[in-house]
Amino acid sequence: MEISCTPDENVFDDGDWELIDALVRVFSSMFHIKGHVTVLDDTQWKNYMTNGETPAEKKKTEAEIDSLFGQADTETNSIWLNPRILKRSYDQLVDTIVHELLHIRFPKDSEEQIMNKERKLIGRFDTLRKQRWCYV
């Protein structure tokens, strides 16, 4: 019996996590973020975001999460990155890490203020905005 294994395009692999860790550390330092930033995987983030919800609410929340590039929780210095969208799209991965870290660095800023800061830093935001997914 032959067993074959193909990479799961819906999860980050070890190489992805190594890159993500390095980028988060470098950008966190550049943005003068106090404390450690934790990057949660898909399962951890969904469990965290749906804690205490009914099964119907949980299903709706998980569907909403799946449509996002990433999210940040400013209270816990945690971010989540969507592997279904960002795996092997390094430009979007970097842009999303920058965006989510800006939320952590400037927790009281509106989404528009964060997008303006991001636009000034990386200058590519207008092309991403046209896609069906969005930042939160």
What does the pLDDT look like over 30-53, one tens digit per residue?
A: 999 999 999 999 889 999 999 999
Q: What's the distance, CA 41 to chain centroid?
A: 9
In a domain, 8, yes or no: no
In a domain, 5, yes or no: no
In a domain, 30, yes or no: yes
How far is residue 85's CA from residue 69's CA, in Å, rounded to a whole number?
Answer: 6
Q: What's the distance, CA 65 to chain centroid?
A: 10
* Secondary structure element (H or E) that encloses residue 79, with its range: strand 78-81
- Cβ-contact 108, 93 below 8 angstroms: no
What token pair was written down for 59?
A: 């299903």
In a domain, 85, yes or no: yes
What's the total number of domains in the chain? 1
Q: Quick one: the chain helix, strand, coil %, rounded to 5?
A: 55, 10, 35
In a domain, 1, yes or no: no
In a domain, 21, yes or no: yes
CATH code, 29? 3.30.2010.10
How far is residue 117's CA from residue 46's CA, in Å, rounded to a whole number?
Answer: 28
At residue 31, the pLDDT reads 96
Smallest CA-to-CA distance from 65 within 90, 52, 46 is with: 46
Residues of the chain with pLDDT under 50: 1-6, 130-135
- The residues near 125 (Cβ < 8 Å, ≥ 6 apart) are 95, 115, 118, 119
Q: Whole domain around residue 88: which residue ranges?
A: 14-129
